[in-house]
């Protein structure tokens, strides 16, 4: 069905509506996860599809945050901006306009190899493995990929984040588990939303865009969710704090992480792990 219409998301107590364009459809009666590797299978939170756990020791987390702040400062300058001694991750939005932010976003889009991580990345692999009870790694052997990502969402900028989606609509992202580890600005008004338990939904339960979503005058690489069981998507915001980590299934509907904070940028590490 060809659509030029409106999509509405219920995220906690906020209702957000946007224009979208493109074809929409419902998939088959398959549950994708039933035919793939479920890395949450042996956990007590398999039915929810996510958990929030302590992340790393304080020293390691402080080194990560310091390293990311230095990297981001250099990227702002590389993109043509300026910083000063007061620069912090939380205040990123005060140092960039929309044009400069797009340049920075293009520089971070593809992530970085884990050898460039501020600490030995084996520490992160081991911690996520410990929580899951299975040995996992950020190395995607099927795709020759071993990267980490930083996400930046400025306050009240409604184009800085992906719409609700499932990662696994991109085949290369199947059989994995995701983490969301906030570095700053992650609150009940800005954290990554999701639909708990939706990793077990049939594809026919979800109406989505046929290709990368075009929502709010923005083209995305991921298809966007339009309806869940013919109703508007209703998402909750788990609220991990700094040096906590949310581990979640990429088969969950997640996204729509609009930052409704008044004056604080939200930044997070977002990394995928596969069976080692």
CATH number at residue 185: 2.60.120
Q: What 3-state DSSP class applies to 64? A: helix
Report yes or no on 63 lying in a domain: no
Instruction: Give the phi and the psi of residue 259 in degrees, each rounded to 5.
Output: -90, 105
Report yes or no on 229 lying in a domain: yes
Report yes or no on 126 lying in a domain: yes
Q: How would you write the pLDDT of the chain (276 residues) with one tens digit per residue?
A: 555 789 999 999 999 999 998 889 999 999 999 999 999 999 999 999 999 999 999 999 999 999 999 999 999 999 999 999 999 999 999 999 999 999 999 999 999 999 999 999 999 999 999 999 999 999 998 988 999 999 999 999 999 999 999 999 999 999 999 999 999 999 999 999 999 999 999 999 999 998 888 888 889 988 999 999 999 999 999 999 999 999 999 999 999 999 999 999 999 999 999 999
Report yes or no on 77 lying in a domain: no
Report yes or no on 267 lying in a domain: yes
Whole-model pTM?
A: 0.95
Return the pLDDT at 3: 53
Asked if residue 47 lies in contact with residue 197, where contact means CB atoms within 8 angstroms, the answer is yes
Return the pLDDT at 258: 96
**Count of domains forming the chain:** 1
Report yes or no on 103 lying in a domain: no
Report yes or no on 129 lying in a domain: yes
Q: Are strands 176-184 and 266-275 parallel, antiparallel or unpaired?
A: antiparallel
Domain assignment of residue 265, given as a range: 2-57+113-275
Report yes or no on 87 lying in a domain: no
């Amino acid at each position: 069905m060809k659509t030029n219409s409106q999509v509405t998301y219920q995220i906690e107590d906020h209702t957000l509506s946007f224009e979208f364009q493109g074809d929409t459809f419902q998939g088959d009666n398959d549950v994708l996860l039933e035919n793939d590797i479920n890395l949450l299978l042996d956990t007590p939170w398999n039915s929810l599809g996510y958990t929030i756990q302590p992340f790393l020791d304080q020293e390691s987390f402080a080194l990560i945050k310091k390293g990311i702040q230095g990297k981001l400062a250099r990227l702002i300058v590389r993109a043509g901006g300026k910083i000063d001694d007061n620069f912090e991750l939380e205040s990123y939005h005060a140092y960039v306009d929309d044009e400069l932010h797009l340049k920075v976003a293009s520089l971070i889009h593809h992530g970085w190899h884990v050898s460039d991580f501020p600490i030995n990345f084996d520490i992160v692999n081991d911690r996520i493995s410990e929580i899951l009870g299975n040995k996992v790694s950020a190395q995607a052997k099927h795709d020759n990929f071993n990267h980490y990502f930083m996400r930046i969402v400025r306050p009240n900028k409604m184009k800085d984040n992906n719409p609700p989606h499932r990662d696994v609509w991109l085949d290369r992202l199947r059989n994995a588990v995701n983490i969301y580890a906030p570095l700053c600005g992650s609150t009940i008004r800005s954290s990554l939303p999701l639909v708990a338990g939706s990793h077990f939904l049939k594809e026919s339960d979800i109406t989505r865009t046929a290709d990368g979503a075009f929502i709010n005058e923005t083209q995305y690489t991921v298809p966007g969710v339009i309806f869940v069981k013919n109703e508007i998507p209703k998402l909750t915001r788990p609220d991990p704090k700094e040096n906590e980590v949310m581990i979640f299934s990429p088969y969950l509907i997640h996204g729509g992480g609009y930052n409704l904070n008044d004056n604080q940028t939200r930044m997070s590490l977002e990394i995928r792990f596969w069976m080692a």
